[in-house]
Every structure is written in structure tokens, then in C-alpha cells.
């Protein structure tokens, strides 16, 4: 018997699909027959699994957190008492359409042989022995060499023959980025600091001269490719200070934190990525004519708009991998009588990153 050739095609050649809530993954199972073949059933399965690893060891742990299967042939409308029998198909190419719904939530069943006891000890995830972890589908990471890997696979299964059946399978990995529903911007996050300068070089004491508030809009909920809304508000806290404050340095860094767990062991990795660094801005902030405690606002027009890179993996959490982000903003100010005194302000904002 000449066996068919199986291939999987996604619509519009989407090797890296993004999925919004209630979207479907659409494609075809392609059968190339060179001779008549009896086909009993064709089905496709989309599944996802997480793999956590620990540096310096061979320890790893894998969990399947998502699986959905759809019968392509025969279709549900064709099912009857004869559906268990095979259908003979002549030699040519056949294309069977499939459409798999993406789930907004998934359920992870704890494997008793792969760390059920250790899962109950992860207090930060609040997992109890009688429960399964539920949450949003995590995005693909696409990096098999990393400590945290999320893999989605699309599998086609073709059952051939009548009484003596033979099952052929074809599998391919897909890159999956679930997106979030649009929502109204949340309240801004604001960190407030004070800057002091000595009024004279020989002075040993400093008094509060300026108040600085660094604001991150949208409540820290950011999307890939989206503008990062940062504002700086400066107030004159000391009415006797009539000098000009200078914003000289501006830096924004993204801090990625990944917690991976294998059994009872856990490991933390941090990656730092500079998004914008500017020096010698020499941006003068004159508050002499403003009432005390009235703020002057500097938007990102002063240092150029900044967008979140699109090659970042969005925030996610599974039963053994947790990835979070912080945005670090560093500002360098110059002040004092001769503008020789430098003050550095550094704040960190917890942020949630989603695919857009």
C-alpha cells in the first residue's frame, strides 16, 4: 500500500500567528495520494507545554498546560452508524480545512509523577493539592536554549485502513502570541522624590529645593510596539531657591525577571535591556516665576518618544515559569550655584506587557 504524504498549512502562511480572544487557528491538512487509500479519520490537535530548566544542572520539568482536538474528517454532520468504516479516496491531492478555537484560559493538571508534592509548596502561586492552576495562555518563547521555554505544536493524525488500522502523524511547531482585549488606560503610577543642593560649595547642609515626580501612564499596562508614556513633574519645594534646575541625563531600562521551578528547586534570572540613554541634554527647568508647589511637566517630547520593542516576550505565568518586568527610569540633574552638583534619581515601575 502506498502511504499518503501529509503536510500542514496555516492560512496566509502565518508561521507566527497572534491570537485575540475567541480567535481561531485556521489551516489545511494536505494529503497527497499516489494510489487509492482507505481513510477512517483525520484530526488535528493544538497543544502547549512549558519546559523549565535549572542552570548548572540536568534537571528539567515539562508540563502540558493546553490541548484542544478537532476532528476534520469525517465531519460531525457526517457521523452515523457507518462512520467507523473507512472511505476510499482516489489518487490526487486533498485539502481538509480545520479551525481550532483558541482558549482564553487553560487548565494544568498536576502530574502525580512529575512533582505534585512540590507544586503544593509553591506558596506564591497559591496552588493546593486538590486544585489545578488556571490562567491565560502564555506566549511562545522560541528559545530552546533558555531556562524557560513555552512550545506550541500542531499535530495532524490520519487513520488509514479498515479492520487493521495504521495511524500516520505530522507535527509542526507554531509561534503563538495570545493578545489581550482592549481596555481603558488605568490610573498612572507615580514615584515622588526630592532633590537637594548645597547653596554654597562650603555648605555641609542641604535643604529640599525641588520635588520630582516620575509618572508612568496606563497603570503600567503596556503593549508591544506601543509608546511608553513617561512624564516628569518638577516642583519648587523651597521658595528661597530661584535657580535653574538642569535635566542632564535620561535613561530607561527594561528589567526582565524569570522564575523557573523544577520540583522543589527554583532559580531566578534577570536580564537588563537599555531602551533609551541620553546624556548632556542640558534641559533647563526654570521655576522662578511659578508658585511654590506648582508643577512644571516635561513630557517625552523633551527627550524623544520611546516605544516598547516588539521582540519581547509578553508577561506570563504557568505552573513552573513566571516572567515579570520592571521599567527603570534614571534621571540625572545638575544644580547648585555653579551647576557643578549632580543628583541621580532612580525609580522602578512594575509593568505588565501584552501582545498588541
pLDDT for the residue 16: 54
Reported as a single tens digit per residue, the pLDDT across 156-193 is 999 998 677 899 999 998 888 777 655 656 799 999 99
Contact 343, 337 (CB under 8 A): no
One fold for both 5-178 and 189-354? yes
Question: Where is pLDDT greater, at 11 or 182?
Answer: 11
Tell me the pLDDT of the chain averaged across its residues.
81
Query: How many CA atoms, within 13 angstroms, populate the side-chain half-sphere of residue 228?
Result: 24
pLDDT for the residue 108: 44
pLDDT for the residue 131: 33
Q: Which fold has domain 189-354?
A: Immunoglobulin-like (2.60.40)
Could you please report the per-residue DSSP string of 160-210?
A: E-SSS-EEEEEEEEE--EEB----PPPPPEEEEEEEEE-SSTT----EEEE
Task: List residues bridging with 274 in a β-sheet.
Answer: 253
CATH classification number, 5-178, choose in 2.60.40.640, 2.40.50.840, 3.40.109.10, 2.60.120.200: 2.60.40.640
pLDDT for the residue 142: 73
User: pTM of the prediction?
Assistant: 0.80
Please enumerate in sequence order all residues whose Cβ is within 8 A of that of 81, keeping only pairs 6 or more positions apart, or say none.
Answer: none
For residue 61, the SS3 value is strand
Reported as a single tens digit per residue, the pLDDT across 194-216 is 998 887 767 667 776 889 999 99
- pLDDT band per the 50, 70, 90 thresholds, residue 22: low
Q: Is 344 exposed, middle or buried (0-12, 13-18, 19+ CB in 10 A)?
A: exposed
Contact 310, 320 (CB under 8 A): no
Buried-state track 279-292, b at ≥16 Cβ within 10 A, e below 16: eeeebebebeeeee
Reported as a single tens digit per residue, the pLDDT across 58-100 is 889 999 988 889 999 997 655 444 445 788 999 999 999 998 8
pLDDT for the residue 203: 66
pLDDT for the residue 145: 83
Task: List residues bridging with 66 in a β-sheet.
Answer: 48
pLDDT for the residue 308: 95
Contact 41, 73 (CB under 8 A): yes
Reported as a single tens digit per residue, the pLDDT across 95-104 is 999 988 765 5
Domain ranges of the chain: 5-178, 189-354
Cα dihedral 141, 144, 150, 155 in deg (nearest 10): 110
Could you please report the per-residue DSSP string of 88-125?
A: EE-SSEEEEEEEEEPPSSEEEPPPTTSSHHHHTT-GGG
Reported as a single tens digit per residue, the pLDDT across 284-322 is 988 877 777 788 999 888 888 899 999 999 999 988 999
Amino acid at each position: 500500500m502506498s502511504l499518503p504524504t501529509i503536510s500542514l498549512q496555516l492560512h496566509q502562511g502565518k508561521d507566527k500567528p497572534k491570537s485575540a480572544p475567541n480567535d481561531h487557528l485556521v489551516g489545511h491538512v494536505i494529503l497527497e495520494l499516489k494510489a487509492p487509500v482507505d481513510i477512517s479519520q483525520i484530526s488535528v490537535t493544538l497543544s502547549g507545554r512549558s519546559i523549565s530548566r535549572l542552570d548548572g544542572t540536568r534537571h528539567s520539568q515539562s508540563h502540558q498546560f493546553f490541548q484542544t482536538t478537532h476532528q476534520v474528517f469525517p465531519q460531525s454532520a457526517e457521523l452515523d452508524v457507518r462512520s467507523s468504516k473507512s472511505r476510499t479516496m482516489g489518487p490526487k491531492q486533498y485539502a481538509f480545512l480545520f479551525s481550532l478555537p483558541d482558549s482564553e484560559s487553560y487548565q494544568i493538571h498536576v502530574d502525580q509523577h512529575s512533582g505534585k508534592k512540590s507544586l503544593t509548596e509553591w506558596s506564591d502561586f497559591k496552588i493546593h493539592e486538590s486544585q489545578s492552576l488556571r490562567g491565560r495562555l502564555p506566549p511562545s518563547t522560541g528559545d530552546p536554549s533558555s531556562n524557560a521555554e513555552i512550545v506550541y505544536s500542531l499535530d495532524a493524525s490520519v487513520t488509514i485502513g479498515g479492520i487493521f488500522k495504521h495511524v500516520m502523524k505530522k507535527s509542526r511547531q507554531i509561534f503563538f502570541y495570545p493578545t489581550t482585549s482592549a481596555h481603558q488606560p488605568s490610573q498612572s503610577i507615580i514615584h515622588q522624590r526630592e532633590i537637594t543642593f548645597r547653596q554654597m560649595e562650603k555648605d555641609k547642609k542641604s535643604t529640599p529645593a525641588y520635588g520630582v515626580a516620575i509618572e508612568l501612564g496606563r497603570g503600567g499596562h503596556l503593549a508591544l510596539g506601543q509608546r511608553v508614556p513617561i512624564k516628569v513633574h518638577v516642583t519648587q519645594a523651597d521658595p528661597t531657591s530661584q535657580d535653574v534646575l538642569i535635566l542632564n541625563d535620561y535613561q530607561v531600562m527594561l528589567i526582565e525577571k524569570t522564575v523557573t521551578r523544577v520540583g522543589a528547586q527554583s532559580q531566578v534570572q534577570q536580564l537588563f535591556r537599555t531602551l533609551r540613554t541620553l546624556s548632556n541634554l542640558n534641559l533647563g527647568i526654570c521655576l522662578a516665576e511659578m508658585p511654590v508647589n506648582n508643577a512644571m511637566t516635561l513630557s517625552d517630547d523633551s527627550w524623544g518618544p520611546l516605544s516598547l520593542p516588539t521582540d519581547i516576550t509578553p508577561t506570563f505565568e504557568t505552573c513552573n515559569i513566571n516572567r515579570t518586568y520592571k521599567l527603570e527610569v534614571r534621571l540625572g540633574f545638575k544644580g547648585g550655584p555653579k551647576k557643578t552638583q549632580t543628583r541621580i534619581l532612580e525609580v522602578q515601575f512594575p509593568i505588565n506587557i501584552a501582545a498588541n
